Structure 1
Amino acid sequence: MKKIITQRYAVKTRRCTEKIIFNYFSVHLRVFTAYLCVAALFSCVDEVQLPIRQTERRLVVEGLITDGPFPWVRLTYTGYYNSSNPAPPELVINDALVQIRDEEGRSVRLVPDPFAPAYYGLRDSSFVGKVGRSYTLSVTLPDGSRYESRPERLNPVPPLEPLRARYRRGLSELGQPDLYDILVDTQDPSALGNYYRWSSLAYVPRWTEFDPRHPPFNPFGPICGTCSCWVPSYGPPTDVLSDALINGNRISGRIVYSVPIMAVSAYYVQIRQYSLTRAAYQYWNLFEQQRTRTGSLFDPQPASIEGNVRAVSDTTKLALGFFGASAMSQQRLTIPGDTINYDRFLINGKRFIPPTGDCYTNFSQPILVPPQGWPPR
């Protein structure tokens, strides 16, 4: 009996040993095979240098004069931009001669802004655009080449009525925040041919590391004093409208901006309503079409959008961008934010609180106190 047990044990031991040896060689065989495959792949790859299309550098002109103070112009060249360096020195133009004149011969020179590369402004706030007059931009570059815009007429704009805000739930399953939709109301004049553009600015409250009602315990001193702030948020500059289908009627409840709800506090919103010429409307409308294309097979090929600035010596040589003249109406709104349930917001809102760093390390241009000039809460 003892001999039979010993034989069975020997058989099991031999089988286990054979299995270990087989697994050992199988693993090494797979590793060796993978190595051969990788080596074969690399040996079959040839580096290909794809040609990069080189285009002639072009002037980019952006500017606006309104019936308010401080017209502005921005001058750059086309080139390679990135988020870490939005104004490369080689593409910024700071030494140009920039002038704005009206049809009556009155002109004013804009000077470079020492704190904002590529921007030109007016230090004299008494020069403002007048409704009914036309304005022309003239630019002389450092190399002596001259560009001029077509005359832009400053058309009147109807007054913007007080703003309204409407709360809207976001798709939390997609990680979207809730929103405040900002609605505008105005009366379109009876005359045909009115064009509008809206620009939006909101100061959005943000928190970092913790929410104010649940600060962490810190036995060594006060908690972070720069972890709660307001951050500017801008809407797209291309929200435009023609009165071709609504002439003489009210523009009511038009959503011009959706402010993301990132914290429970007051929100400060500013909307400006501009008049446009037909040429300016067409430019911004084409700009928006290109901005919102999805890249499908049915989208037209992207192309440079012609503005209204061209070389004086060769009118076929166009600059990119647009110089506009607009009347402006502005409204501001303070949204208290006290209708939002604090604890309910934290269920999904914690994802919008950066876990480390303060406002200065997480956001761009934060302010630690509410902005000035808004109506009280």
Structure 2
Amino acid sequence: MAKAVLLLFLVFLCFSCVDEVQLPARSVESRLVVEGLITNETPPYTVKLSYTGQYNSLIYGQNEIPVDGAVVSITEIGGRTVVLDQDALAPLFFWMRDSTFQGKLGKSYQLRVQLVDGKSYISEPDVLNDVAAIDKIYAEYRSRAEGDVYNPDYYDVLLDTKDPAATGNYYRWSGYGYIPRISTGEPVGMSVCCKWCWIPSYGSVTDVLSDALVNGNTISRRLVFSSPIYYVGRHYIEISQYSLTKSAYQFWVKFEEQRKRNGSLFDPLPASIEGNVHREDDPNILALGYFGSSAISKRRLVIPGDTLNLARLEIKYDDVFIKEGNCQRVYSQGQLSPPSW
């Protein structure tokens, strides 16, 4: 009886101490987001334009909203202006396909976005600096951590390049590749089809470096990409080395710092990363993102994969990384043949 009375008292206490609190909804205004780059490579170039979704603390909105009907142009300072075309199937993207308009070393480029409501945004001119050539890229095998059964082994792709003697060089690296994967396949009559395919794998786009501590020296064994090993086979890798202006370098440093925050009590509050694009009539109204100019040096590498033992790999992985169905369909952007290019 005493226990029953105590239980009823605790239940009564809980209900009497909990009041429903109606918090006011907090909304954040949608903002223009710009992502674009002009290079010294042959066009096309793309500019991605979107609005941040209308965020409400009670209801989540869209992450990206296309900027429909905008007039987008790129100007070479002291030279031509070209108008971009909005992609009808992927309206977030605007294309510059004029083959006679190509980025040139030492020239500065500016983006202009005229919105349908009459507001226009422009970027600060960004100079297209030269970039050192990549001397070589090479791969080293890295086994996953002891006891980690949910991540694969990797090929770490490393880079060597020589920084020029002049100070003030800034770099950014990106990498991607096509890697082999396996699935259970798809029954076709008495056989099984499409168990093997190649899928794209993308690395970070925020890997940047200033030559402040390495000026004039060789940048050696720089890790620029890690290619996951899900099955035995060749890995087709392409690494790009970009030049940056100082302002572009600072933008990417801020972007990466925010991306790596782990949400601890000691982290600063997250903030939107503003770049070099602002309202034409009011420089204090900034868009998010960055429009830049860059020279590019590229290298490709084929990792044979023939040093891996298939039987041992299958024992090590079991079926953790094998999905059911047609390989081309169950993995994003899967293709049945390796890239011919």
Above 0.5 in TM-score? Answer: yes
2:31 is matched with 58
Report how many aligned residue pairs link the two structures. Answer: 332
In 2, Cα distance between the equivalents of 1:220 and 1:37? Answer: 66
Query: Tell me, what secondary structure is at the counterpart of 1:317?
Result: strand
- Tell whether 2:104 aligns with 1:116: no
TM-score by length of 1: 0.81
In 1, Cα distance between the equivalents of 2:19 and 2:212? Answer: 58
Q: Contact 1:198 / 1:239 at 8 angstroms: preserved in 2?
A: yes
Report the structure, 1 or 2, having the larger helix content.
1
Report the structure, 1 or 2, having the larger strand content.
2
Percent identity between matched residues is 50
Q: Contact 1:147 / 1:311 at 8 angstroms: preserved in 2?
A: yes
Query: Tell me, what secondary structure is at the counterpart of 1:173?
Result: coil
**Mapping of residues 67-86 of structure 1, within 5 Å:** 67-68=40-41, 69-79=43-53
- Pairwise CA distance, 1:291: 0.4
Counterpart of 2:280 (choices 312, 328, 333) is 312
CA deviations on 1:314-340 (whole Å, 9 max, x unpaired) are 111000000010000111111111100
Q: Contact 1:209 / 1:355 at 8 angstroms: preserved in 2?
A: yes
**Mapping of residues 282-321 of structure 1, within 5 Å:** 282-321=250-289
Query: Tell me, what secondary structure is at the counterpart of 1:356?
Result: coil
RMSD: 2.6
- Tell whether 2:135 aligns with 1:161: yes
Q: Contact 2:52 / 2:62 at 8 angstroms: preserved in 1?
A: no
**Mapping of residues 8-157 of structure 1, within 5 Å:** 45-68=18-41, 69-79=43-53, 91-157=65-131
2:58 is matched with none
- Tell whether 2:172 aligns with 1:204: no
Q: Contact 1:98 / 1:139 at 8 angstroms: preserved in 2?
A: yes
Query: Tell me, what secondary structure is at the counterpart of 2:111?
Result: strand
Q: Contact 2:323 / 2:330 at 8 angstroms: preserved in 1?
A: no
- Tell whether 2:170 aligns with 1:195: yes
Question: Could you say if the C-alpha distance between residues 358 and 250 of structure 1 is closer, same or farther in structure 2, counting changes exceeding 3 Å?
Answer: same
Question: Could you say if the C-alpha distance between residues 345 and 152 of structure 1 is closer, same or farther in structure 2, counting changes exceeding 3 Å?
Answer: same
Which residues of structure 1 form unaligned runs of 5+? Answer: 1-28, 82-86, 211-215
Letter of the structure 1 residue corresponding to residue 110 of structure 2: T
**Structure ID, larger Rg:** 1
Query: Tell me, what secondary structure is at the counterpart of 2:191?
Result: coil
Counterpart of 1:221 (choices 177, 185, 190) is 190
In 1, Cα distance between the equivalents of 2:99 and 2:62? Answer: 30
Question: Could you say if the C-alpha distance between residues 265 and 43 of structure 1 is closer, same or farther in structure 2, counting changes exceeding 3 Å?
Answer: farther
CA deviations on 1:284-340 (whole Å, 9 max, x unpaired) are 011001101112222222222220000011111000000010000111111111100
TM-score by length of 2: 0.89
In 2, Cα distance between the equivalents of 1:93 and 1:246? Answer: 42
